[in-house]
A and B are shown apart, each in its own frame.
Chain A
C-alpha cells in the first residue's frame, strides 16, 4: 500500500470518530435540549446552562397522562413479546431440527409476512375491531403486533437453534429422554441466551410500533408512549412544547439504550444471524 502506516492509522481514527459522531450527535442533541429551561430552549449552545429538570417535571404532569402511556407501552410490548417468544420457540425448533415436507415453504411464508406493509393489515383489522368493540383495548394492539414480532422471533430463534450442536439432544435421547424431554431439559437451558436476545429484539420492535397503536386508539389513556409523545401539546395550541417532547423522547429511549449497551454483542449477533450467511 502506498499510504504510510501512520497516516492510515490517523485516517482510520478519523473515520471511527465520524461514525460515532454521525450516530450519536442527534441523540446528544435530544438529551441536551431536554435539560434546558423552557425559556432558553432555542439556545443552541452545546451544553445546557443552567441545567434544568423543568421539562421532565412537565412530562410527568398529570395532564399529559404520560405515565399511563409508558405503562400501556410496557403492557402491549411485554405481552406481545411473551406470546411471540413462546410460539416462535416451538416453530423455530422444528425449523432448525426436523426435516419435513414443505419446510422451506413454511419458513419462506413466515419470513415473508414480516415484510408485509403493516397498513394492509391494520385497515381490515381496525374495521373488525370496531365491530368487536375492541378499539381502545390492549388486545387490539397486541394481536396485530404479532404479525411482525412473531416472524422476527421465529427467524432469530431458528438461526440460534441451528448453532446448537445436534449431538446434545442425540446424547440425551440415547440416555433415554424422549425428544420432548431432550428439548425441555437440554435445549431450553442452552437456548436461554438466544431466547433472551430474541426477547430484546422483539420487545424493541413492539415498543417502537406506531401505526397500529395510532389506529387502534382514540382515548389518550389507552395510547402507547410513541403515540402519546407525538400528540404532546403545549399550554396553547400555538406553542409546540419541544422541551417536554425531547424529555419524553429521552425517557422512552433511555431504557432501550441501556439494554442495547449492556447486551450489544448479543444483539448484533441476533440481528446479523440471518444476513451473514
Chain B
C-alpha cells in the first residue's frame, strides 16, 4: 500500500509504458524507508510524552514501593534526609496485621467493579434495544443519554449526596429513612446506584452503535425462517453485537477498577465501607507515605493489567479497534498475538 502513495513526481504518460519490473522495485524500497522515517517522526512526540507521563512514573512507582517512610533518626533527633530502603516490606505488609485496610480496599474495588459493570451492562443493553427500536424521539434520547456522561464525576458525587441526604428526595420517595451516606452497606449501595446512573447510558450508546451496523435483512431472513423474538435476540443480536459489547464492558471494568471520585465525594475519604484501592493509595500519598502508596498503586496496576489480559485472551476482544485493513496488514506484518492490549 505504501508504495502507491509515495511523493512521486507527476509522471509523463509515455513513462508509464516502460517495463515496470526493476524501477518499480527500486522505487518501492526507497519509499518504504521514507515512510518509516516519516512515521517515526510523526509518532515519536506522542511516544515521548507518554514515556514521560506514564512510563517514567511507573518505573518510579516500582522503585518507590521498595522504600519506607522517613523516620526520626534516633541519633540526631531530626527527620531523616532519605527514605530507608525496606525491600518488599511494603508488599509483605498487606499479608500482616496492617494489611486489613488494604484487603478491605481490595474487596471493595472488586465488589464495586463486579456489581456496577453487571448492572450497567444489563441496563445499557436494555436502553440500547429501546433506542434502536424507537423512531420518534430518537434525537431527544440521544441527547439525554449523553448528559450523565458529560456531568463531571465530582458533580455526580455531590448530586447523589444531595439526593441521598437524610432529608433528601430518595428517602422521601422511599417513604423510609435510610442513612445512605454513613458507613455500612447502604453507602456501598449509594455508590453503586450513582455509578450505574452515570455510566449505563454510555454502555447503551456503545451497544447501540453495535446494533446499528447489523443489517436488517438478517432479521428479515430469520423471521421468514420462523425464528421468534427470543431466538433472534440470542442467535443474531447477541453474537453480532458482541464486539461492541465487549469493548464497552472492558472499558467499564478498567474504569471501575480505578474508581476514585465518586466514593470520595459521595461518602468521604477514609470510609471503610467504600474505600477503593485508588482512594487508599491517594490517601497514603497525601500523608507522605509514598512507599506504601506506591506499593498499592503497583498492585492496582498489576490487577488492571491482569484483568485486561484475561479479557483479551479469553474473549479475543480486538480492543485495538482495527478496521478493514487487517488483511493487508497481516500480509505485511507477521501476525502478532493479540494479548498485548494491556
Contacts and interface: CB of A to CB of B under 8 A. Distances in A.
B154 A94 contact: no
A179 B42 CA distance: 12
Interface of B: 1-2, 4-5, 7-10, 35-36, 38-40, 42-43, 45-47, 49-50, 52-54, 56-58, 60-61, 64, 127, 130-131, 133-134, 136-137, 139-148, 150-155, 157-160, 162-163, 165, 167-169, 172, 197, 200-202, 204-206, 208-210, 212-213, 229, 243-244, 247-248, 251, 254, 257-258, 260-261, 264-265, 277-278, 281-282, 285-286, 290, 293-294, 297-298, 300-301, 304, 308, 318-323, 325, 329, 332-333, 336, 340-342
Interface string A176-219: 11110000000000000000000000001001101100110000
A30 B159 contact: yes
A126 B341 CA distance: 27
Contacts of A121: 53-54, 57-58, 61
Contacts of B319: 111
A258 B127 CA distance: 23
Contact of B50 (A113, A127, A260): A113
Given A179-B7, A227-B154, A264-B146, A112 B258 contact: no
A150 B61 CA distance: 21
B151 A215 contact: no
B61 A16 contact: no
Contact of B153 (A101, A208, A215): A208
Contact of A252 (B46, B155, B202, B261): B155
A112 to B, nearest CB: 6
B143 A99 contact: no
A210 B290 CA distance: 20
A139 to B, nearest CB: 12
A98 B38 contact: yes
Nearest to B208: A272
A119 B301 CA distance: 9
A106 B47 contact: yes
Q: Which of A122, A158, A169, A204 has the most CB of B within 10 A?
A: A122
B146 A260 contact: yes
B79 to A, nearest CB: 15
A122 B282 contact: yes
Given A20-B141, A99-B35, A115-B342, A208 B154 contact: yes
Contacts, number: 339
B321 A277 contact: yes
Contacts of A103: 39, 329, 333
Given A91-B45, A121-B57, A277 B323 contact: yes
A53 interface: no
A83 to B, nearest CB: 8
Q: Which of A26, A147, A179, A211 has the most CB of B within 10 A?
A: A26
Contact of B147 (A24, A42, A100, A249): A24
A52 interface: no
Nearest to A98: B39
Interface string A212-248: 0011000000000111011000000000001001100
A159 B46 contact: no
A16 B130 contact: yes
Given A12-B133, A100-B39, A104-B336, 9 more contacts: A15-B133, A16-B137, A29-B162, A110-B50, A120-B301, A122-B285, A230-B154, A268-B209, A276-B244
Contacts of B208: 272
A107 B336 CA distance: 13
Interface in A149-163: 150-151, 154-155, 158-159, 162
Contacts of B146: 260, 264, 267-268
